[in-house]
Structure 1
Amino acid sequence: MAKILVVEDNALNIKLFCDLLAAHGHEPEGVLDSRDALEAARNFKPDLVITDIQLPHVTGLELMEMIRKDDELKDVPIMAVTAYSGVGDDERIRAAGAQAYVAKPISVVRFAETVEDLLAGRNQLAQAPTPQGA
Protein backbone atom coordinates (compact mmCIF):
# COMPACT_ATOMS: atom_id res chain seq x y z
CA MET A 1 0.00 0.00 0.00
CA ALA A 2 1.34 3.39 -1.01
CA LYS A 3 0.42 6.81 0.34
CA ILE A 4 -0.62 9.01 -2.59
CA LEU A 5 -1.36 12.73 -2.41
CA VAL A 6 -3.83 13.97 -5.03
CA VAL A 7 -3.88 17.72 -5.74
CA GLU A 8 -6.87 18.72 -7.85
CA ASP A 9 -9.22 21.71 -7.74
CA ASN A 10 -12.23 19.70 -8.93
CA ALA A 11 -13.91 17.77 -6.10
CA LEU A 12 -15.37 15.19 -8.48
CA ASN A 13 -11.93 14.46 -9.94
CA ILE A 14 -10.45 14.12 -6.44
CA LYS A 15 -13.20 11.62 -5.57
CA LEU A 16 -12.62 9.69 -8.81
CA PHE A 17 -8.84 9.55 -8.37
CA CYS A 18 -9.00 8.72 -4.64
CA ASP A 19 -11.66 6.02 -5.15
CA LEU A 20 -9.58 4.49 -7.95
CA LEU A 21 -6.41 4.55 -5.87
CA ALA A 22 -8.18 3.07 -2.84
CA ALA A 23 -9.64 0.31 -5.02
CA HIS A 24 -6.06 -0.58 -5.97
CA GLY A 25 -5.06 -0.86 -2.31
CA HIS A 26 -3.48 2.56 -1.83
CA GLU A 27 -4.03 5.23 0.81
CA PRO A 28 -5.00 8.43 -1.03
CA GLU A 29 -5.36 11.91 0.43
CA GLY A 30 -6.94 14.72 -1.57
CA VAL A 31 -6.09 18.41 -1.51
CA LEU A 32 -8.53 20.85 -3.18
CA ASP A 33 -6.56 24.06 -2.63
CA SER A 34 -3.09 24.02 -4.16
CA ARG A 35 -1.94 26.61 -1.60
CA ASP A 36 -2.23 23.84 1.02
CA ALA A 37 -0.54 21.14 -1.05
CA LEU A 38 3.09 21.55 0.02
CA GLU A 39 2.23 21.51 3.73
CA ALA A 40 -0.13 18.56 3.18
CA ALA A 41 2.68 16.69 1.43
CA ARG A 42 5.09 17.37 4.29
CA ASN A 43 2.55 16.10 6.83
CA PHE A 44 1.30 13.10 4.80
CA LYS A 45 4.74 11.98 3.56
CA PRO A 46 3.43 10.49 0.30
CA ASP A 47 5.07 7.81 -1.82
CA LEU A 48 3.65 9.55 -4.91
CA VAL A 49 2.12 12.94 -5.71
CA ILE A 50 -0.51 13.30 -8.42
CA THR A 51 -1.24 16.89 -9.40
CA ASP A 52 -3.37 18.66 -11.93
CA ILE A 53 -1.43 21.21 -13.98
CA GLN A 54 -4.20 23.79 -14.32
CA LEU A 55 -4.76 24.88 -10.72
CA PRO A 56 -5.76 28.29 -9.36
CA HIS A 57 -3.39 30.10 -6.98
CA VAL A 58 -0.38 27.74 -7.22
CA THR A 59 -0.19 25.93 -10.57
CA GLY A 60 0.77 22.29 -10.83
CA LEU A 61 4.07 23.27 -12.43
CA GLU A 62 4.85 25.65 -9.55
CA LEU A 63 3.88 22.98 -7.03
CA MET A 64 6.19 20.44 -8.69
CA GLU A 65 9.07 22.92 -8.56
CA MET A 66 8.40 23.56 -4.84
CA ILE A 67 8.35 19.82 -4.14
CA ARG A 68 11.67 19.33 -5.98
CA LYS A 69 13.26 22.09 -3.85
CA ASP A 70 12.00 20.62 -0.56
CA ASP A 71 14.58 18.42 1.21
CA GLU A 72 11.93 16.04 2.58
CA LEU A 73 9.99 15.65 -0.68
CA LYS A 74 12.51 16.12 -3.50
CA ASP A 75 12.72 12.38 -4.33
CA VAL A 76 8.96 11.67 -4.30
CA PRO A 77 7.77 10.74 -7.80
CA ILE A 78 5.21 13.08 -9.36
CA MET A 79 2.51 12.31 -11.91
CA ALA A 80 0.93 15.30 -13.63
CA VAL A 81 -2.62 15.25 -14.95
CA THR A 82 -3.67 17.74 -17.60
CA ALA A 83 -6.63 18.46 -19.84
CA TYR A 84 -4.39 20.54 -22.08
CA SER A 85 -1.94 18.22 -23.75
CA GLY A 86 -0.08 20.02 -26.50
CA VAL A 87 3.24 20.64 -28.17
CA GLY A 88 5.97 21.24 -25.63
CA ASP A 89 3.96 19.98 -22.63
CA ASP A 90 6.24 17.03 -22.00
CA GLU A 91 9.30 19.31 -21.84
CA ARG A 92 7.59 21.80 -19.49
CA ILE A 93 6.30 19.00 -17.26
CA ARG A 94 9.69 17.25 -17.17
CA ALA A 95 11.46 20.54 -16.41
CA ALA A 96 9.10 21.15 -13.49
CA GLY A 97 9.91 17.74 -12.00
CA ALA A 98 7.28 15.19 -13.05
CA GLN A 99 8.17 11.66 -14.08
CA ALA A 100 4.90 11.02 -15.97
CA TYR A 101 1.71 12.66 -17.07
CA VAL A 102 -1.75 11.52 -18.02
CA ALA A 103 -4.08 13.48 -20.29
CA LYS A 104 -7.70 14.12 -19.33
CA PRO A 105 -10.13 12.62 -19.81
CA ILE A 106 -8.18 9.86 -18.15
CA SER A 107 -8.18 6.23 -19.13
CA VAL A 108 -8.72 4.37 -15.85
CA VAL A 109 -6.45 1.54 -16.98
CA ARG A 110 -3.67 3.90 -18.12
CA PHE A 111 -3.97 5.96 -14.92
CA ALA A 112 -3.62 2.83 -12.74
CA GLU A 113 -0.71 1.48 -14.84
CA THR A 114 1.15 4.80 -14.62
CA VAL A 115 0.69 4.92 -10.84
CA GLU A 116 2.03 1.37 -10.47
CA ASP A 117 4.98 2.10 -12.79
CA LEU A 118 5.97 5.16 -10.75
CA LEU A 119 5.66 3.31 -7.46
CA ALA A 120 7.81 0.50 -8.86
CA GLY A 121 10.52 2.97 -9.84
CA ARG A 122 9.79 2.87 -13.57
CA ASN A 123 9.60 6.62 -13.77
CA GLN A 124 10.41 7.80 -17.24
CA LEU A 125 8.34 10.72 -18.47
CA ALA A 126 5.80 9.42 -20.90
CA GLN A 127 2.42 10.80 -21.71
CA ALA A 128 -0.27 8.22 -21.20
CA PRO A 129 -2.38 8.92 -24.29
CA THR A 130 -6.13 8.71 -24.29
CA PRO A 131 -7.35 5.80 -26.43
CA GLN A 132 -8.91 6.69 -29.78
CA GLY A 133 -12.58 7.48 -29.48
CA ALA A 134 -12.48 7.99 -25.73
Structure 2
Amino acid sequence: MPKRILIIEDNMVNYKLAGIILRKAGYEILHAGDAEQGVAIVRAEHPDLVLMDIHLPGMDGLTAIRILKGDSATQRIPILALTALAMKGDEESIFAAGCDAYLSKPIGHRALIDIVGRFL
Protein backbone atom coordinates (compact mmCIF):
# COMPACT_ATOMS: atom_id res chain seq x y z
CA MET A 1 0.00 0.00 0.00
CA PRO A 2 1.52 3.36 -1.00
CA LYS A 3 2.28 6.01 1.61
CA ARG A 4 -0.32 8.78 1.70
CA ILE A 5 0.64 12.45 1.61
CA LEU A 6 -1.80 15.28 2.27
CA ILE A 7 -0.95 18.49 0.42
CA ILE A 8 -2.54 21.54 2.04
CA GLU A 9 -2.20 24.20 -0.64
CA ASP A 10 -4.60 26.85 -1.95
CA ASN A 11 -2.69 27.51 -5.18
CA MET A 12 -3.78 24.85 -7.66
CA VAL A 13 -0.64 25.20 -9.80
CA ASN A 14 1.59 24.51 -6.79
CA TYR A 15 -0.67 21.63 -5.70
CA LYS A 16 -0.69 20.05 -9.16
CA LEU A 17 3.10 20.33 -9.50
CA ALA A 18 3.79 18.71 -6.12
CA GLY A 19 1.08 16.12 -6.76
CA ILE A 20 2.52 15.08 -10.13
CA ILE A 21 6.03 14.76 -8.70
CA LEU A 22 4.89 12.72 -5.71
CA ARG A 23 2.45 10.49 -7.64
CA LYS A 24 5.23 9.61 -10.09
CA ALA A 25 7.34 8.64 -7.07
CA GLY A 26 4.61 6.20 -6.01
CA TYR A 27 2.80 8.14 -3.28
CA GLU A 28 -0.97 8.47 -2.89
CA ILE A 29 -1.98 12.14 -2.73
CA LEU A 30 -4.77 13.80 -0.76
CA HIS A 31 -5.57 17.51 -1.09
CA ALA A 32 -6.99 20.30 1.04
CA GLY A 33 -7.38 23.87 -0.22
CA ASP A 34 -7.27 25.49 3.22
CA ALA A 35 -6.00 24.80 6.73
CA GLU A 36 -9.39 24.05 8.31
CA GLN A 37 -10.12 21.38 5.71
CA GLY A 38 -6.55 20.09 6.06
CA VAL A 39 -6.81 19.68 9.84
CA ALA A 40 -10.10 17.78 9.37
CA ILE A 41 -8.55 15.47 6.76
CA VAL A 42 -5.51 14.76 8.94
CA ARG A 43 -7.76 13.88 11.87
CA ALA A 44 -9.98 11.62 9.74
CA GLU A 45 -7.45 10.02 7.38
CA HIS A 46 -4.13 10.03 9.33
CA PRO A 47 -1.89 10.47 6.28
CA ASP A 48 1.75 9.41 6.53
CA LEU A 49 3.00 12.96 5.89
CA VAL A 50 1.60 16.47 5.43
CA LEU A 51 2.93 19.14 3.07
CA MET A 52 1.65 22.45 4.46
CA ASP A 53 1.56 25.81 2.74
CA ILE A 54 2.00 28.59 5.30
CA HIS A 55 0.02 31.41 3.67
CA LEU A 56 -3.51 30.04 3.39
CA PRO A 57 -6.93 31.71 3.35
CA GLY A 58 -8.55 31.82 6.79
CA MET A 59 -6.41 29.91 9.28
CA ASP A 60 -2.73 30.07 8.36
CA GLY A 61 -0.46 27.05 8.10
CA LEU A 62 1.45 27.82 11.30
CA THR A 63 -1.78 27.73 13.32
CA ALA A 64 -2.76 24.44 11.68
CA ILE A 65 0.66 22.97 12.48
CA ARG A 66 0.30 23.99 16.14
CA ILE A 67 -3.16 22.36 16.29
CA LEU A 68 -1.97 19.10 14.73
CA LYS A 69 1.24 18.90 16.78
CA GLY A 70 -0.73 19.67 19.94
CA ASP A 71 -3.13 16.75 19.38
CA SER A 72 -1.90 13.37 20.65
CA ALA A 73 -3.73 11.63 17.79
CA THR A 74 -1.84 13.58 15.08
CA GLN A 75 1.35 14.88 16.69
CA ARG A 76 3.59 12.12 15.27
CA ILE A 77 2.61 12.78 11.64
CA PRO A 78 5.52 14.62 9.98
CA ILE A 79 4.65 18.06 8.65
CA LEU A 80 6.79 19.71 6.00
CA ALA A 81 6.18 23.38 5.24
CA LEU A 82 6.16 24.46 1.62
CA THR A 83 6.53 28.19 1.71
CA ALA A 84 7.58 31.26 -0.16
CA LEU A 85 8.75 32.66 3.20
CA ALA A 86 12.45 33.33 2.98
CA MET A 87 13.03 36.21 5.37
CA LYS A 88 15.30 36.04 8.38
CA GLY A 89 13.31 34.62 11.28
CA ASP A 90 10.78 32.77 9.11
CA GLU A 91 12.56 29.45 9.51
CA GLU A 92 12.53 29.87 13.29
CA SER A 93 8.78 30.60 13.25
CA ILE A 94 8.11 27.52 11.17
CA PHE A 95 10.08 25.23 13.48
CA ALA A 96 8.67 26.90 16.61
CA ALA A 97 5.17 25.97 15.38
CA GLY A 98 6.25 22.32 15.36
CA CYS A 99 7.07 21.79 11.71
CA ASP A 100 9.51 18.95 11.03
CA ALA A 101 11.17 20.51 7.96
CA TYR A 102 10.53 23.02 5.24
CA LEU A 103 11.15 23.69 1.56
CA SER A 104 11.15 27.12 -0.03
CA LYS A 105 9.02 27.71 -3.10
CA PRO A 106 9.48 27.31 -5.95
CA ILE A 107 10.10 23.67 -5.13
CA GLY A 108 12.56 21.56 -7.06
CA HIS A 109 11.67 18.03 -8.12
CA ARG A 110 14.74 16.38 -6.55
CA ALA A 111 14.56 18.45 -3.34
CA LEU A 112 10.90 17.49 -2.82
CA ILE A 113 11.52 13.78 -3.41
CA ASP A 114 14.59 13.83 -1.14
CA ILE A 115 12.92 15.55 1.81
CA VAL A 116 9.77 13.41 1.59
CA GLY A 117 11.95 10.31 1.37
CA ARG A 118 13.76 11.29 4.58
CA PHE A 119 10.46 11.11 6.47
CA LEU A 120 8.85 8.18 4.65
Same fold by TM (over 0.5)? yes
- 1:131 aligned partner: none
CA distance in 2, matches of 1:40, 1:3: 12
**Equivalences for residues 7-18 of structure 1 within 5 A:** 7-18=8-19
User: What 5-or-longer segments of structure 2 have no aligned partner?
Assistant: none
Deviations 1:15-57 (A, max 9, x none): 1111111111111101112221111111221110100011110
CA distance in 2, matches of 1:78, 1:37: 12
Q: Quote the sequence identity (%).
A: 36
**Equivalences for residues 69-80 of structure 1 within 5 A:** 69-80=70-81
CA distance in 2, matches of 1:100, 1:84: 13
Q: Structure 1 length normalisation: TM-score?
A: 0.85
Which structure has more relative contact order (CA 8 Å, sep 6+)? It is 2
The CA deviation at 1:115 is 0.6
RMSD: 1.0
Q: Structure 2 length normalisation: TM-score?
A: 0.94
Q: How many residues are matched?
A: 119
User: What 5-or-longer segments of structure 1 have no aligned partner?
Assistant: 120-134
The structure 1 segments of at least 4 consecutive aligned residues displaced by more than 4 Å after TM superposition are none
